[in-house]
Structure formats: structure tokens, C-alpha cells
């Protein structure tokens, strides 16, 4: 994951996530991995306090090595934060606990979720026999967040082509759930389509 992100393949996505943060004073990334997206947000908002959270200690060691404050935390078990203290909560290709996200969010805060669409890596998935992205994923996300008191106030489709080496293709596959399933090896290099929906959730007058 660190190698692929460091190569810049996902840079257009990181820019979109950073732009969706607004003007926060605190930024938390749940499921931060090596902290690449959070580091981009921290650089864009130098006065904000960033915090990386992940269940993986090795991943957080990488995040700490680039200067991020880190806390080991399993999103499903709950976030070790007081209620209402987060202005921007990022969740990029990571598990979502809508109730916890809502609990820790400040009154004017926002949750930024980046999730793949059905077009994401579609050609590569067909070629290698990878897991499909389920239909209706975006609608289920809106429902889960709505049940937790958060409405979608914006979204942006980030879609672009990325020319990848064979090694980058292998990293793309291995950094996701396909790493735990049998599949063919990339024959690369090849160009893939990255297609991700970046959604912003907040409390509105419907959910005071």
C-alpha cells in the first residue's frame, strides 16, 4: 500500500479528498493505513491537528514516520475520541462505523468517504477474476449515514486513467480485499480506470 500510494497513482483522488475537507481545525482519518491521504490534508491545512487511526500497528509506524500523530484503533470497536471533537473525518477505502463517525463529529463537521464505483478497475477485475464492487454501494452508504443522523451534502465522481507497471498492478490488487482471495497474476503493464465516489456527509436541519 505504501509503495503504491507513494508512486502517485492515486494523486487525483487525494486532491479530491483534501478539497472535500473544508476548513477544519481537527482532521482524523479512520482506517488511515500509512497516512498518505491524511498527510495530504495536513499539508493543505497546516493549522489543523491531524490524527491517524488504524488497527494495524505496522501501518501506523509508517504514518508516524512521516510525522503524523497516531492511535491504534479498530473502527468497528469504536473510536477513542470524545464526542463532537472532529471537524473532518476521512474514510478512504476503509471500514465505516456510521454511528461512531456521527458521535465524534463536531456540529459543523463533515465526514468524507471515498468508495469505489462499479467501474473502478473494471477491466483489471475482469482480466484477473477479482472481486466485483457490489451494485447499490452508494445508496447503502447514504442509508447507513442517514440512520446515524448524517445527510449527504455533496459528492464528486473522481475518475481517471492510470498507466501502471506490472508491479503497480500487483500492489493495486494486494492492497485491497482481493489479497485474501485466489486470482490470476497481473501480466502488465496496462492502463486501468480508477473510479471513486467521494461523498461528504454532515448534520443538516433535518438532523440537528
Q: For residue 178, give the C-alpha cell.
A: 482481493
Residue 157: DSSP 8-state: E
Closest CA to 44 of 21, 70, 62, 76: 21
- Report yes or no on 47 lying in a domain: yes
pLDDT over 70, % of the chain: 94
- Report yes or no on 18 lying in a domain: yes
- pLDDT above 80: residue 205: no
pLDDT band for 117, please (50, 70, 90 cuts). very high
Distance, in Å, from the CA atom of 63 to the CA atom of 29, rounded to the nearest integer, reads 11
- Report yes or no on 92 lying in a domain: yes
Distance, in Å, from the CA atom of 77 to the CA atom of 93, rounded to the nearest integer, reads 18
- Report yes or no on 28 lying in a domain: yes
- Contact by Cβ (8 Å): 193, 123: yes
CATH, residue 56:
3.40.50.150
Domain that holds residue 79: 2-117+133-159+196-202
Count of structural domains within the chain: 1
- Report yes or no on 90 lying in a domain: yes
- Report yes or no on 175 lying in a domain: no
pLDDT tens digits, residue range 144-201? Answer: 999 999 999 999 999 999 998 888 888 887 776 655 566 677 777 889 899 999 999 9
- Report yes or no on 25 lying in a domain: yes
- Report yes or no on 164 lying in a domain: no
Amino acid at each position: 500500500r505504501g509503495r503504491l500510494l507513494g508512486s502517485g497513482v492515486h494523486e487525483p483522488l487525494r486532491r479530491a479528498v483534501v478539497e472535500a475537507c473544508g476548513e477544519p481545525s481537527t482532521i482524523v482519518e479512520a482506517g488511515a493505513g500509512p497516512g498518505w491521504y491524511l498527510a495530504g490534508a495536513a499539508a493543505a491545512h497546516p493549522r489543523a491537528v491531524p490524527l491517524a487511526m488504524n488497527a494495524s500497528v505496522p501501518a501506523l509506524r509508517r504514518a508516524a514516520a512521516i510525522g503524523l500523530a497516531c492511535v491504534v484503533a479498530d473502527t468497528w470497536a469504536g473510536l477513542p475520541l470524545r464526542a463532537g471533537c472532529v471537524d473532518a473525518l476521512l474514510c478512504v477505502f476503509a471500514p465505516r462505523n456510521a454511528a461512531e463517525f456521527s458521535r465524534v463529529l463536531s456540529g459543523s463537521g463533515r465526514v468524507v468517504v471515498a468508495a469505489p464505483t462499479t467501474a473502478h478497475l473494471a477491466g483489471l477485475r475482469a482480466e484477473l477474476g477479482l472481486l466485483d464492487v457490489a451494485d447499490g454501494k452508494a445508496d447503502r452508504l447514504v442509508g447507513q449515514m442517514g440512520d446515524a443522523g448524517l445527510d449527504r451534502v455533496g459528492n464528486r465522481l473522481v475518475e481517471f486513467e492510470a498507466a501502471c507497471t506490472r508491479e503497480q498492478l500487483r500492489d493495486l490488487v494486494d492492497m485491497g480485499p482481493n489479497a485474501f482471495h485466489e486470482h490470476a497474476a497481473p501480466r502488465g503493464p496496462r492502463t486501468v480506470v480508477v473510479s471513486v465516489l467521494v461523498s461528504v456527509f454532515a448534520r443538516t436541519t433535518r438532523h440537528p
